[in-house]
Amino acid sequence: MSLGCPKALVDSERILTRLRAEGYEVAASYGAADLVVVNTCGFIDAAVDESLDAIGEALAENGKVIVTGCLGAQPKKILDRHPQVLKITGPQRYEEVVASVHEFLPPKHEPFLDLIPAQGVKLTPRHYAYLKISEGCNHHCSFCIIPSMRGRLVSRPIGEVLREAEQLVRAGVKEILVISQDTSAYGADLKYAAERWRGTPRHARFYDLAAALGELEAWIRLHYVYPYPHVDRAIELMADGRVLPYLDIPFQHASARILKLMKRPAAAEDTLERIAAWRRVVPDITIRSTFIVGFPGETEQDFEELLDWMRVAQLDRVGCFEYSPVEGAAANALRQTPVPDEVKAERRARFMVLAAEISAQRLQEKIGRTMQVLVDRMEGDVGVARSASDAPEIDGSVRILAAKGLKVGDFADVRITGASAYDLEARLHSIV
């Protein structure tokens, strides 16, 4: 069972790949399983509760449970509630998880039967995959405990990353989603060391990695990008069509005072200027972000600054969360007035109303245009697809009417005929 973000999903894929190579099979239900591995999330209180509930469910339905993932870095929380779990390991402890499975369920390896694909076991549909380029983070945002759970930045060598990407494309993957805790910091810990790929030295650097991935026959989507100055160079790759014109940047807030309390590394005025500059180079760029409302000390004036910033920034895709205290976070020690829960909820609702208005207006402007989409699923003769503006699971979709002949994983050119607050409707023009 895999909980949490795409980075945790990749961890689950790595564990499954190793176990499948040793002859283990994935069971479809608790009852059919000999043992359950729960990969947990522990970022905010709601995620901790979900993870603890999932562990409890697995124990009730199966009884033999190994726990790993971010919440595993806080074993006391797990043992206080579920002392009967067999083993607890922290995040990225792949070898420990496999060793624990060996301990409680020894492998029965069949070398002629236990074949796995070169790209490993994937938990995503066949046509897209996440590519994790690093672990950990060097930032110390006051609301976050990721560095204490996952450690400081550890980048994968660029040759290793590019070879995995090549394997994914050879296996039929049409879209690669680049993920990490801080994608734009990639390679800093390696001192940007170079390795040869396709006969050319490639440096372990954000721009160089994006440029190299852009040589593959696939959509390349960049997630979790901090707006460092060097990110501007990646916009050139988008203008050239080498990577998707899409940036996922966690701005978190716009009030300078709140950003300082959060220990975030960017000023709101600078980001507005950067966004405007990016759109001058790539008018169709999609910018996605997430925000926190109700951070300790946030006043109505701070929140209004955020709304004003949003009206200027006109972000295409946004998510908004009410601040939730996290055990071990520096924000807990701030001498700031807590925001009442009802005020947090009211501010989030107001923020999302504005976000929906902006999204609806920007999507209306796409009516009449022809664009390429990637089909995620078929519902009868209706294709449910995504455009370059839509990441799976978190963004909108494009519903293609009268889409007979389309298959999951197809690229298609469609003509946009309608729009709602977050989704588009289209007619099939041609299958690419």
C-alpha distance across the termini of the chain, in Å: 36
3-state secondary structure at position 307: helix
With contact defined as beta carbons under 8 Å apart, do 85 and 65 qualify?
yes
| Cα–Cα distance, 200 to 194 (Å, whole number) | 9
- Which H helix or E strand runs over 361? helix 341-364
DSSP code per residue over 55-96 = HHHHHHHTS-EEEEEGGGG-HHHHHHH-TT-SEE--TT-HHH
Task: Name the amino acid, one letter, at 53.
Answer: D
Count the residues in the chain.
432
Residue whose tokens read 């499948």: 20
With contact defined as beta carbons under 8 Å apart, do 161 and 133 qualify?
yes
Cα–Cα distances (Å) from 212 to 181, 194, 201, in that order, read 20, 12, 10
With contact defined as beta carbons under 8 Å apart, do 318 and 290 qualify?
yes
CA 421 to chain centre: 22
CA nearest 70: which of 181, 233, 175, 219?
A: 181
Task: Name the amino acid, one letter, at 345.
Answer: A
| Cα–Cα distance, 410 to 398 (Å, whole number) | 13
Task: Name the amino acid, one letter, at 216.
Answer: L
3-state secondary structure at position 327: coil
How many CB atoms sit inside 10 A of residue 274's CB?
A: 18
| Cα–Cα distance, 77 to 70 (Å, whole number) | 12
**In the chain, what is the greatest distance between 2 CA atoms, to the nearest angstrom?**
66
Backbone conformation region of residue 80, classed left if phi is above 0, alpha if psi is from -120 to 50, else beta: alpha
pLDDT in tens, the chain (432 residues): 888 788 788 888 888 888 887 778 889 899 999 999 999 987 777 888 899 999 999 999 999 999 998 888 888 989 999 999 999 998 878 788 888 888 888 876 554 444 445 556 566 788 999 999 998 888 878 787 777 777 889 999 999 999 999 999 998 999 999 999 899 999 999 999 999 999 999 999 999 999 999 999 999 999 999 888 899 999 999 999 999 999 999 999 999 999 999 888 665 558 899 999 999 999 999 999 999 999 999 999 999 999 999 999 999 999 999 998 777 777 777 888 889 999 999 999 999 999 999 999 999 999 999 999 999 999 999 999 999 999 998 999 999 998 988 999 999 999 999 999 999 999 999 887
Cα–Cα distances (Å) from 28 to 35, 56, 64, 69, 219, in that order, read 12, 18, 16, 21, 31
| Cα–Cα distance, 309 to 73 (Å, whole number) | 37
State pLDDT tens for residues 333-362: 788 888 999 999 999 999 999 999 999 999
Task: Name the amino acid, one letter, at 82.
Answer: H
CA nearest 324: which of 42, 6, 7?
A: 42
| Cα–Cα distance, 140 to 330 (Å, whole number) | 9
